[in-house]
Each structure stands twice: as structure tokens, then as C-alpha cells.
């Protein structure tokens, strides 16, 4: 245990030192450095930074765990969170890069010639980003408290301080280069344990192939067939076919995540950092290579972790693990409350089944599947230490990107754009840094005292991005006649419908007891869960906008000319202020 702690300290503080070094080397000197890294990042570097920016604590820690327990149903996350990059590469990124501004609300302001549009976009952006950060801060606190056994609050404080140093100092430039380092840490931390486990279980070191291979125990049975058998024996749904609330719900869920991904401002912003339209297109491709590396390993991690967990508890059918002989990792995770055993029949053995009455594994949290995986598979201590550093890299890199999105929308869009247009560049830079500091403090506070709605907020973030930002951007580029009034009305209608649906099932502002329709299948519109409703909101947005376009008449000529100009790569200078 002492050795593990030592390794963990080395891994965590070694990587922190690296991030500080990079931050010092890549300090921001101008607003262009601060918002778009001077516009000189290469597509491959940008792809890596997008990967780190995009892959949050949820991707790193939670996703494989969700897949482990949902099986086939977990595919919505895999397809949804990668398919959005196709939309970004073809529908948004190249044209928005050509237009050459710093922020997403600024693009919306230019295109829809309306301050209301800009403010609506800023509000959506801040709600979506802040809710997202809470999750990252919680991830930082959990990683510290579990792996270094420091207090959750102290861990959170250290995380906040680290992000503050490199995000406030370096702005987009510092964030980009630290994100590249964080991507490398994260991907090693994710794939090394997966390679070991795949090798142990199937003899194939490549997890993507191991998942489709036979087991190494000489039985000649395919891993997935074995898993299907083990889980169905205990009454769980078959792993490879278990749906997530039916085909329509999975369809809407996947679509919402895809267009939500394409509409998340902190991801779109990263495309403003490359030097050309061509580079914006290829950035999306590189980003998906780096993201895909983790996302194609995740299903293997999920399935193998589930199988290992089952095998630990019931090594051979009918022979259950004696509770007093449980392994060390079991005890460690019991202390966190994420794993809980209750000896219901008093036989001192662990029974794990789908039947709520007899099941004795009363809590098995999704999140422990990735974090405990190396220990469950008896991997060496340095691998466990690496996982801790990887989880922190995932949480910190995403938090930094989100903080930048928030601070730029306030200092550049609200202050410079609407409230105090004569702000000098130097003061705007200072304002950006102050806003970012405040944003760190607010998100740290929210991480320490997570509001009751924290769990439901991912739905809100993706719902907002999918139902308001994505349609507005897409129509702005592909329909040159789309008018400001029509687009803004569409955005508000889209958000309205989505929020109403989420709130009516999950409570107004997620306050328990204020939902006027229960959060359960029979009450859902055609069985679509609140998390999956963003796609419907987007449809409403498009419909309202196109109907109102007939009423308001087309956008003025100079706006249509601007859109035509956006569609042609032309000569692109670095993103500029005006």
C-alpha cells in the first residue's frame, strides 16, 4: 500500500509539474493568444487538444462503467459522442473558422445581427459549461480522496489551484499545450490497463480485438458469449442485446448526443485556433482519431471489467465468494461507499443477482469500474498510479476548456460586445483573467457543495447545445436567407421545449417534488427519456425558424454576402478582433 501511495504521488505531482512548466513556456501576451492561441496551432496538435478538451472525467471514469452495466444500450454514448465530429467537420467548423472570430456568441451576433441573439447564446453557453464543470470538479475531488487519501475539499482546492495557474496565465495558448500533454497522460492511463486485462483474459493485447476473441482459459468460448451467459444466469439482461428504453429512445438519445456534441461551444472554439479552413477540416479528423482511440477501447474495458467483477464474486457457478475472504480492492471501495454489501441471507457469502430482494451487492457504482479495474485484475501498482494521474488529466483539461469558454463569453461577448465596447485590448485581457478566476471559484464552490441537480445536468448541457446552438449555427451557414428574428425565435422555442420536458420529469431546476409528471417510462413522450429530448428540441427549433422566416422575410443583403463569403475557404488570416 505504501509503495502504491508513493507511485501515485510521483505520477500525480510529476504530471502537475509538467503542466506548470508548459504553462510558463506558453504564456499569453495578447487577446488573440488568450482566446485562440494566436491562431497558429497545427491540425494534429489541435486534434489532440480537442481530444483532451472533449474527454472529460465522464468519458474517462464513468463511460466504460455505464457500458459495463448497460451492455448494448451503452452504444448510445459511443456513437453519440463520436458521430458529432462528422457534423462538426462538414457542417460547422470550416465555415466558422473562415468567418474568423473568437467566440461562438460572436459568430451568432454577426450572422443574426442581433444583441438578443448574442445574449441568448451567452446564457446557453454559461449554463451548459458551468453544469459541465461541476462534474469535473467532483471528479478531481474523488480522485484525490480515493488515491491520495486526502480530504475531498483539499483535493478540490489543489485541482482548482493547478487549473488557475495554467488557464489564467496561458489562456487558450497555455491550455492548448497543457491539453496536449494531458491527452498523452490520459491515453496511456486508459489503454495500458486495458492492454494488460485483454491479454490476461483473451491472450490478445489489442483490446478492440480481444473483445471479439475467445477466452484464454482454453475453453474456446468467445468472451462476449461467456459474458452473456454469466449475466443471464444471474437474471440480468443479455449483455450484447440489452436495449436502453427501446429503439426510438436509443435513436433520439444518440441523435441528441451527436448534435449536442457539435453544438458545445468549448469544442467549437478549438477550431478557431488553427491557421486555415483546410486545417479546421483536418483537425476534426485528428480529433476523432485521438478520441476514437479511447472510445473503441472503452467497450472492451466495460465488458472485461464486468466479467472480472462477476468472476470475482462467483468464481464458478454456485460457488460464491466468502465475504471475509474478499480482496483488498473490495475493502478499499467499500470505504468510499461506492461499493456496498449487505448479507441478506446471513450465510457470509456474496450473492449478486438481478433480483432486488436477494441481491446482496446493494451498491456497485458505475464509476468504480475504470478506477478499480487495475486492482481487480491484479495489475502492478504503477498502473494504478497512472490511472489516478489519467483521471485527473481528463478532469483538469476539460475544466480548463470550459473555463475559457465561460470567461471569453463574458469578457469578449458581454463586456466588450455589449456593455463596454470601448474596452482596450489590455483591459479585455485583464477582464478575461479576472472572470476566469471568479469562474474557478464558483465552480470549486459548486463542486464542494454540489447542488441537488448535479446528476441531471449532463442532460441539460447537451439538451441546450442540441436544441439551441447547433440549429442556429447550421441554419446560419446553410440557409443564407435565415433572418435574425426567425433564428432567435427558433432558439428560444427549442430551449423552451427541451427545458420544459426535462423539468416536467425531473423537477423545476431539478428540485425534487416539483416535477408535475413522474420521471418514468409510461409518462415519457413516445418513451423518449429526458436525456434524449434535445433532438426533439432541435426539430422544434428548425420548424419554428423556417415558419417565421416566411413571415419576417429574408436577412439583409450584406448578411447574405457575408454567408456566401463564409462558404469559400479563400485567404484566411488569424482570427481577429473585428
Partner 1 sequence: MENKETYWSENLRLIFICLAIWFAVSFGLGLLLVEPLNEIRLGGYKLGFWFAQQGSIYSFLALIFWYGVKMNKLDKKYQAEG
Q: Does residue 8 belong to the site contacting partner 1 (CB under 8 A)?
A: no
Q: How far is the CB of 79 from partner 1 (least distance, A)?
A: 5
Q: Which segment (30-38, 287-295, 338-346, 441-449) binds partner 1 by CB under 8 A?
A: 287-295
Q: By C-beta, is 288 or 392 nearer to partner 1?
A: 288
| Beta bridge partners of residue 214, listed in sequence order | 222
Measured CA to CA, the distance from residue 140 to residue 152 in angstroms comes to 9
Q: Does residue 500 belong to the site contacting partner 1 (CB under 8 A)?
A: no
Task: Please provide residue 520's backbone torsions phi and psi, each rounded to the nearest 5 degrees.
Answer: -150, 155
Binding-site member from 222, 323, 382, 445 for partner 1 (CB under 8 A): 222
* Residue window 30-69: x/- pattern of binding to partner 1, with contact defined by CB under 8 A: -------------------------------------x--
Q: Does residue 240 belong to the site contacting partner 1 (CB under 8 A)?
A: yes
The SS3 assignment for 171 reads helix
Q: Does residue 79 belong to the site contacting partner 1 (CB under 8 A)?
A: yes
Q: In 325-448, where does DSSP find H-type helix?
A: 328-336, 368-376, 381-408, 425-448
Q: How far is the CB of 532 from partner 1 (least distance, A)?
A: 13
Residue whose C-alpha cell reads 495557474 in the numeric block: 165
The SS3 assignment for 316 reads strand
Binding-site member from 5, 27, 237, 278 for partner 1 (CB under 8 A): 278
Q: By C-beta, is 106 or 228 nearer to partner 1?
A: 228
Q: Which segment (22-30, 124-132, 204-212, 370-378) binds partner 1 by CB under 8 A?
A: 204-212
Q: What is the DSSP string of 189-231?
A: HHHHHHHHHHHHHHS-S-HHHHTTSB-TTTT--BHHHHHHHHH
Q: Which segment (7-15, 88-96, 111-119, 546-554) binds partner 1 by CB under 8 A?
A: 88-96
Q: Does residue 217 belong to the site contacting partner 1 (CB under 8 A)?
A: no
Closest CA to 303 of 75, 551, 38, 45: 75
Binding-site member from 319, 324, 422, 571 for partner 1 (CB under 8 A): 571
Q: How far is the CB of 213 from partner 1 (least distance, A)?
A: 6
Q: Does residue 78 belong to the site contacting partner 1 (CB under 8 A)?
A: yes
Q: Does residue 548 belong to the site contacting partner 1 (CB under 8 A)?
A: no
Query: Contact, 408 vs 103, CB < 8 A?
Result: yes
Q: Does residue 82 belong to the site contacting partner 1 (CB under 8 A)?
A: yes
Q: Does residue 569 belong to the site contacting partner 1 (CB under 8 A)?
A: yes
Q: How far is the CB of 105 from partner 1 (least distance, A)?
A: 25
- Which cell numbers in the block locate residue 68? 459495463
Q: In 203-339, where does DSSP find H-type helix?
A: 207-210, 223-233, 246-262, 265-268, 277-313, 328-336
Buried-exposed string 432-456: b where 16+ CB fall within 10 A, e elsewhere: bbebbbebbeebbebbbebeebbeb
Q: By C-beta, is 295 or 503 nearer to partner 1?
A: 295
Q: Does residue 145 belong to the site contacting partner 1 (CB under 8 A)?
A: no
Q: By C-beta, is 386 or 473 nearer to partner 1?
A: 473
Q: Which residues within the stretch 245-274 sit at the binding site for partner 1 (CB under 8 A)?
A: 247, 250-251, 254-255
The SS3 assignment for 363 reads strand
Q: How far is the CB of 211 from partner 1 (least distance, A)?
A: 7
Closest CA to 166 of 267, 52, 272: 52
Binding-site member from 19, 109, 295, 533 for partner 1 (CB under 8 A): 295
Q: Which segment (17-25, 79-87, 317-325, 457-465) binds partner 1 by CB under 8 A?
A: 79-87
355, exposed or middle or buried, with CB in 10 Å at 0-12, 13-18, 19+? Answer: exposed
Q: Does residue 86 belong to the site contacting partner 1 (CB under 8 A)?
A: yes
Number of residues that bind partner 1 (CB under 8 A): 51
Q: How far is the CB of 288 from partner 1 (least distance, A)?
A: 5
Q: Does residue 518 belong to the site contacting partner 1 (CB under 8 A)?
A: no
- Which cell numbers in the block locate residue 172? 487558450
CA distances from 493 to 240, 447, 481, 503, 525 (A): 38, 31, 20, 15, 18
- Which cell numbers in the block locate residue 348? 457470509
**What is the biggest distance separating any 2 CA atoms in the chain, rounded to whole angstroms?**
79
Q: By C-beta, is 250 or 400 nearer to partner 1?
A: 250
Query: Contact, 97 vs 568, CB < 8 A?
Result: no
Binding-site member from 217, 225, 355, 561 for partner 1 (CB under 8 A): 225
- Which cell numbers in the block locate residue 503? 423539468
Measured CA to CA, the distance from residue 283 to residue 119 in angstroms comes to 29
Binding site for partner 1 (CB under 8 A): 67, 72, 74-75, 78-79, 82-83, 85-86, 89-91, 94, 208-209, 211-214, 222-225, 240-241, 247, 250-251, 254-255, 276-278, 281-282, 284-285, 288-289, 292, 295-296, 299, 564, 567-572
Amino acid at each position: 500500500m505504501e509503495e502504491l501511495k508513493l507511485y501515485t504521488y510521483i505520477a500525480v505531482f510529476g504530471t502537475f509539474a509538467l503542466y506548470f512548466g508548459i504553462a510558463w513556456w506558453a504564456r499569453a501576451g495578447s487577446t488573440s493568444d488568450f482566446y485562440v492561441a494566436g491562431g497558429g496551432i497545427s491540425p494534429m496538435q489541435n486534434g489532440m487538444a480537442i481530444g483532451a478538451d472533449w474527454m472529460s472525467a465522464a468519458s474517462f471514469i464513468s463511460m466504460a462503467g455505464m457500458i459495463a452495466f448497460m451492455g448494448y444500450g451503452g452504444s448510445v454514448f459511443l456513437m453519440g459522442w463520436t458521430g458529432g465530429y462528422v457534423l462538426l467537420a462538414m457542417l460547422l467548423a470550416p465555415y466558422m473558422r473562415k468567418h474568423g472570430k473568437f467566440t461562438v456568441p460572436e459568430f451568432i451576433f454577426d450572422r443574426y445581427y442581433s444583441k438578443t441573439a448574442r445574449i441568448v447564446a451567452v446564457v446557453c453557453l454559461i449554463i451548459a459549461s458551468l453544469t459541465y464543470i461541476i462534474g469535473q470538479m467532483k471528479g478531481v475531488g474523488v480522485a484525490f480522496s480515493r488515491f491520495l487519501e486526502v480530504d475531498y475539499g483539499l483535493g478540490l482546492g489543489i485541482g482548482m489551484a493547478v487549473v488557475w495557474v495554467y488557464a489564467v496565465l496561458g489562456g487558450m495558448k497555455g491550455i492548448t499545450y497543457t491539453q496536449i500533454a494531458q491527452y498523452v497522460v490520459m491515453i496511456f492511463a486508459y489503454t495500458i490497463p486495458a492492454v494488460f486485462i485483454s491479454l490476461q483474459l483473451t491472450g490478445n493485447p489489442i483490446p478492440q480485438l480481444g473483445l471479439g476473441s475467445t477466452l484464454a482459459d482454453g475453453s474456446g468460448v468467445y468472451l462476449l458469449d461467456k459474458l452473456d451467459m454469466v449475466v443471464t444466469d444471474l437474471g440480468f439482461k443479455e449483455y450484447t442485446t440489452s436495449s436502453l428504453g427501446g429503439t426510438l429512445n436509443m435513436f433520439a438519445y444518440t441523435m441528441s448526443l451527436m448534435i449536442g456534441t457539435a453544438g458545445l461551444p468549448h469544442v467549437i472554439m478549438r477550431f478557431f485556433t488553427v491557421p486555415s479552413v483546410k486545417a479546421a477540416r483536418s483537425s476534426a479528423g485528428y480529433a476523432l482519431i485521438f478520441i476514437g482511440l479511447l472510445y473503441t477501447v472503452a467497450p472492451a474495458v466495460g465488458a472485461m471489467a464486468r466479467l472480472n467483477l462477476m468472476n470475482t464474486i462467483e468464481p464458478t457457478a454456485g460457488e460464491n465468494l466468502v465475504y471475509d475472504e474478499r480482496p483488498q480492492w473490495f475493502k478499499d471501495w467499500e470505504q468510499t461507499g461506492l461499493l456496498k454489501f449487505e448479507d441478506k441471507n446471513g450465510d457470509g457469502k456474496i450473492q449478486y443477482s438481478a433480483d432486488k430482494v436477494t441481491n446482496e451487492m446493494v451498491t456497485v457504482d458505475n464509476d468504480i469500474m475504470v478506477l478499480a479495474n487495475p486492482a481487480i485484475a491484479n495489475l502492478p501498482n504503477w498502473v494504478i498510479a497512472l490511472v489516478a494521474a489519467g483521471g485527473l488529466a481528463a478532469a483538469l483539461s476539460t475544466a480548463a476548456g470550459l473555463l475559457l469558454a465561460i470567461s471569453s463569453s463574458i469578457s469578449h461577448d458581454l463586456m466588450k460586445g455589449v456593455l463596454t465596447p470601448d474596452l482596450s485590448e489590455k483591459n479585455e485581457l485583464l477582464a478575461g483573467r479576472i472572470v476566469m478566476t471568479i469562474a474557478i471559484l464558483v465552480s470549486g464552490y459548486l463542486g464542494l457543495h454540489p447542488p441537488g441537480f448535479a446528476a441531471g445536468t449532463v442532460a441539460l448541457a447537451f439538451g441546450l447545445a442540441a436544441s439551441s446552438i447547433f440549429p442556429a449555427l447550421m441554419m446560419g451557414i446553410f440557409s443564407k436567407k435565415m433572418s435574425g428574428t426567425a433564428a432567435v425565435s427558433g432558439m428560444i422555442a427549442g430551449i423552451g421545449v427541451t427545458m420544459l420536458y426535462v423539468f416536467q420529469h425531473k423537477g423545476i431546476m431539478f428540485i425534487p417534488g416539483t416535477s408535475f409528471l413522474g420521471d418514468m417510462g409510461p409518462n415519457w413522450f413516445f418513451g423518449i427519456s429526458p436525456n434524449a429530448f434535445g433532438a426533439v428540441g432541435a426539430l422544434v427549433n428548425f420548424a419554428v425558424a423556417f415558419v417565421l422566416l416566411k413571415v419576417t422575410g429574408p436577412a439583409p443583403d450584406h448578411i447574405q454576402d457575408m454567408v456566401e463569403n463564409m462558404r469559400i475557404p479563400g485567404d484566411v488570416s488569424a482570427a481577429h478582433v473585428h
